[in-house]
Amino acid sequence: MNLVTNPRRERVDAARNRVKILAAAADIVAAHGVEGLSMAEVAAAAGVGVGTLYRRFGDRSGLAYALIDEREREFQEAFIEGPPPLGPGAGVFARISAFLHALTDRTVEQLDLLLMAETAAPFARFGGAYDGYHAHLSMLVTQARPGADAYVLADALLAPLAAPLLAHRLRGCGVTVERVKAGLDDLLAGFAT
């Protein structure tokens, strides 16, 4: 069968390599931190050539995002179709707030990887998970503030969670995660005009 010519299935050896690479990369990060994540080392640990890494993940930050995505898929599902207040069913403001708080936690959890990924390729986040966050938040903001430029406002709510800023404030300036969340809620409160 299979008349629907799927976009060409991944070859089994390629799939095997992808798993080996991600496992090796995760091990290295666990053992030596993100700084230890060099392309040559990952390739060696996974038993493949560096060319294979690049074919599969594009570049260093692509690898980092792949590592991040593994953990993040369930979060995506949670805010799209999970239980409230993150998922549908709660009021708009509650959902926005819950979403921003959850994303803050997610970002803090993976701060080192995100930092590396955004530093190496600040655009990548925009092609990937960021777009999902932005689309979701746009939708909620549209409901919360009919007539406003939800597209731009969503960016404004997401921007304070950029990894470099967050890392700087949390690690170097004594700001706590709670203050960041409270600040976002404060910003949000203005929407209720």
Partner DNA sequence: CCCTTAAGCGGAATAAGTTCCGCTTAACCT
Partner DNA sequence: AGGTTAAGCGGAACTTATTCCGCTTAAGGG
Q: Residues in the site for a copy of itself, rule: CB under 8 A?
A: 115, 118-123, 126, 148-149, 151-153, 155-156, 159-160, 162-165, 168-169, 172, 175, 179-180, 182-184, 186-187, 189-191, 193
Minimum distance from CB of 34 to a copy of itself (Å)?
Answer: 14
**Considering the rule CB under 7 A, would residue 11 count as an interface residue with DNA?**
yes
Report the Cα 50 to chain-centroid distance in Å. 25
Residues touching DNA: how many (CB under 7 A)? Answer: 26
Residue with tokens 């803090």: 108
Residue from 1, 3, 7, 8 in contact with DNA (CB under 7 A):
8
- The single residue listed with the structure tokens 């009919």 is 146
- Alpha helices by DSSP H, listed for 33-162, are 39-46, 50-57, 60-81, 92-109, 111-120, 124-127, 129-144, 150-158
- 88 phi, psi to nearest 5 deg: -60, 150
Cβ-contact 99, 86 below 8 angstroms: yes
Nearer to a copy of itself, 46 or 180 (CB): 180
Rounded to the nearest 5°, which phi and psi values hold at 161?
-95, 10
Q: Which is nearer to DNA, 60 or 95 (CB)?
A: 60
Nearer Cβ to a copy of itself (21/166)? 166
**CA geometry: angle 51, 52, 57, nearest 5 deg:** 105
Q: Which of positions 51-80 make contact with DNA (CB under 7 A)?
A: 51-52, 54-56, 59-61
| Residue 96 contacts residue 148 (beta carbons within 8 Å) | no
Place of tokens 């390739």: 43
Q: How far is the CB of 39 from a copy of itself (least distance, A)?
A: 18
Closer of 91 and 122 to a copy of itself (Cβ) = 122
Contacting range for DNA; rule: CB under 7 A; set: 36-44, 99-107, 126-134, 171-179: 36-44
Local structure of 146: helix, strand or coil? coil
Return the residue of 3, 4, 12, 159 that touches DNA, per CB under 7 A: 12
Name the site residues for DNA (rule: CB under 7 A).
8-14, 17, 37-40, 47-52, 54-56, 59-61, 120-121
